[in-house]
Amino acid sequence: MKATKAWPGYLDAFAEIVRRIQSSLHGSRAMLTEPVRIFVAGGAAVHAYTGARISADIDATLSRRVLLPENLEVSYRDRDGTPRVLYFDRQYNDTLGLLHENAYEDSVTLEVEGIDRNLIDLRVLSPTDLAVSKIARMAPNDREDIRSLAAAGLLDEEAVRARAEEALAGYIGDSRMVRIAIDEAGEIIRAAAPRKRK
């Protein structure tokens, strides 16, 4: 998929960060039997799909243990010319939110100029899995991200509910608040989804 709705300045900054990670892998090319997969989640993934909310960080999981370079932040200007910084979040942890066990397997290739597919396989969570990943926390920006994905016609309420329930089966702890959040996500999707013509 091409991030055609993403803000060009943001996309350039995002691509530069991925290229810096790629540069750090060049010396390990002979050791790689397959490319390092980078699975992007969070606001960066939502922006790639919708062009909505611009996130200050890149939440991502890598398929291999990688010694990341130090310079993973890039300055750019947003839509109104305001200086911004985008950085790769080294603290992101995908085990603390809701995520389906097949989310990475079902992720979508993200095409970014200048990326060597022999070194990096850049992917974003599917819209459904992205919505599911927002449910456990349900902060205001998570609600807005679900709304943006739904408004773009990328979410089906029943599919998100089913995927979230399947994901929840793999977690331990008190699930009552998450179940309430699943219902809330369904309401957001219903309200924001484009109306079908009769």
Q: In degrees to the nearest 10, what's the CA dihedral of 12, 16, 19, 20?
A: -170
Taking only the tens of pLDDT, the chain with its 198 residues reads 998 899 999 999 999 999 999 999 988 877 888 999 999 999 999 999 999 988 999 999 999 999 999 999 999 999 899 999 999 999 999 988 899 999 999 999 999 989 999 999 999 999 999 999 999 999 999 999 999 999 999 999 999 999 999 999 989 888 999 999 999 999 999 999 998 655
Q: What is the pLDDT of residue 197?
A: 55
**Dist. CA 145–CA 23, nearest whole Å:** 31
What 3-state class would DSSP assign to 187?
A: helix
- Are 49 and 127 in contact, with CB atoms under 8 Å apart? yes
What single DSSP character describes residue 29? G
Query: Which residues are CB-contacts of 34 (< 8 A; sequence separation ≥ 6)?
Result: 121
Q: What is the pLDDT of residue 153?
A: 96
Q: What is the pLDDT of residue 198?
A: 52
Sign of CA dihedral 28, 30, 60, 122: positive
User: What DSSP element (H or E) covers 121?
Assistant: strand 120-124
Q: What is the pLDDT of residue 191?
A: 96
In three-state form (DSSP H/G/I as H, E/B as E, the rest C), the secondary structure along 56-119 is: CEEEEEECCCCCCCCCCEEEEECCCCCEEEEEECCCCCCCCCCCCCCCCCCCEECECCCCCCCC
Q: What is the pLDDT of residue 122?
A: 97
Residue with tokens 């989310």: 103
pTM of the full structure: 0.93
Q: Residue 145 half-sphere exposure, CB side, CA atoms within 13 Å?
A: 26
Query: Which residues are CB-contacts of 161 (< 8 A; sequence separation ≥ 6)?
Result: 182, 185, 186
